[in-house]
Amino acid sequence: MSGLEDTALRPEKAHEPDSATILHPVLHEIRHALRRLIQNGESTVIDLTSLPFGPGDERQLLEYLGEGEVNATLNTLGRSRLWETRFPGVWLVDHYNPEQVRIAFQIEVGEVPAVLKSQKEDVADGLDRLTNLLPAYLTD
């Protein structure tokens, strides 16, 4: 045997996390969080920066979760990238400060990450600005 069959990618193993990493507990927490979201609408945030990732764990987690259809970039007090994973309702949220130093890395399980939701105060400010731009005869 040439040994090539030993190095071939086995599709059934392509997305299995290595059991020697922290990934199993993280994936189980995500599963429980998805169940809470479905059952009672409860969102969950998992702070990845506080977990004891070993070499390659973050890369393996990102590969396992993959990328879904939605992503966004925010440019407020530094850059933040948010993307839905291949599991709907499971979002990765990666925040950097203006010096491009990571300040937070989280998994957020919910319909949409909280940081993307407009704050009521901001919506009220938008209403005021729009009202002030419209001629008086078009407003209430």
pLDDT tier, 140 (very low <50, low <70, confident <90, very high otherwise): low
Q: Tell whether 93 is covered by a domain.
A: yes
In a domain, 3, yes or no: no
Residue at 2 is within a domain: no
Confidence label for 5 from pLDDT (cuts 50, 70 and 90): very low
Residue 24 contacts residue 61 (beta carbons within 8 Å): no
Domain membership of residue 104 (yes or no) is yes
Per residue in 6-45, pLDDT (tens digit) is 433 333 444 555 555 789 999 999 999 999 999 999 999 9
Instruction: Specify the DSSP element, H or E, that contains 8.
Output: none
Q: Is the pLDDT confidence value at 59 over 60?
A: yes
The answer to the question of residue 41 being in a domain is yes
Asked if residue 75 belongs to a domain, the reply is yes
What pLDDT does residue 22 have? 85
- Structural domain that includes position 62: 17-113
pLDDT digits (tens, 9 = 90+) for 76-134: 889 999 999 999 999 999 999 999 999 999 999 999 998 888 889 989 999 999 988 88
Of the pLDDT bands very low, low, confident and very high (cuts 50, 70, 90), residue 137 is: low
pTM across the whole model: 0.76
Q: Is residue 8 part of a domain?
A: no
Instruction: Report yes or no on 118 lying in a domain.
Output: no
Number of domains in the chain: 1
CATH number at residue 62: 3.30.1370.140
For residues 122 and 130, the answer to whether their CB atoms sit within 8 Å is no
Asked whether the beta carbons of 25 and 61 are under 8 A apart, the reply is: no
Crossing angle of helices 23-40/57-65, nearest 10°? 40
